[in-house]
Amino acid sequence: MNHERFEELINTYIDSGLSDIDSASVFAHLSTCPSCRELLAGALRVRAHISRERLAEVPASLDARIARSIRATTVMEPDRASFAPVRHPRTIYSRIGVAIQLLTAAILLVFLFSIRLTSPGDQRIPVGQMSTIRLR
């Protein structure tokens, strides 16, 4: 493992989140690495200091006030809360272009389906019956 990975494992160890195997590898690394021992000692001092600090007194109504504020912001500014793509109206020219393309495609399909193949004996064969033709 690299050194950065051991630093992550040390932080997880402080939070009591390591497995037995990871704990063993961290302690083996700590026995040979003075910088990681220093990191662990400093992190433990910070944690001890934080645990001695008093928590700030928060009014019981704070959660309700925050929720009301969020709802009011969402109701007053619906455009900011929406992530839907903006659709631009099509102009008359783009609609005409689409109509021309569809008409051209329809004419082409009618033309292709009406073509009949001609065999050497000048016999016309419909396109639908082409699968039964045998070549000599």
Average pLDDT (10-31) is 86
Structure confidence at residue 95 (pLDDT): 76
- Considering only residues 37 and 126, tell me which one the structure prediction assigns the higher pLDDT: 37
Q: Is the model's pLDDT at 119 over the cut of 50?
A: no
Rg of the chain, C-alpha, whole Å: 38
Structure confidence at residue 10 (pLDDT): 84
pLDDT per residue over 58-106, tens digit each? 888 888 888 888 877 765 445 555 555 555 566 666 778 888 889 999 8
Listed range (33-37, 47-51, 76-80, 132-136) with the worst mean pLDDT: 76-80
Q: Is the model's pLDDT at 36 over the cut of 80?
A: yes
How far apart CA 133 and CA 9 sit, in angstroms, is 74
Output the CA–CA distances (angstroms, integers) from residue 115 to 6, 94, 131, 132, in the order listed.
75, 32, 15, 17
CB 36 within 8 A of CB 8: no
Structure confidence at residue 118 (pLDDT): 46
Q: Is the model's pLDDT at 117 over the cut of 70?
A: no
- Considering only residues 7 and 127, tell me which one the structure prediction assigns the higher pLDDT: 7
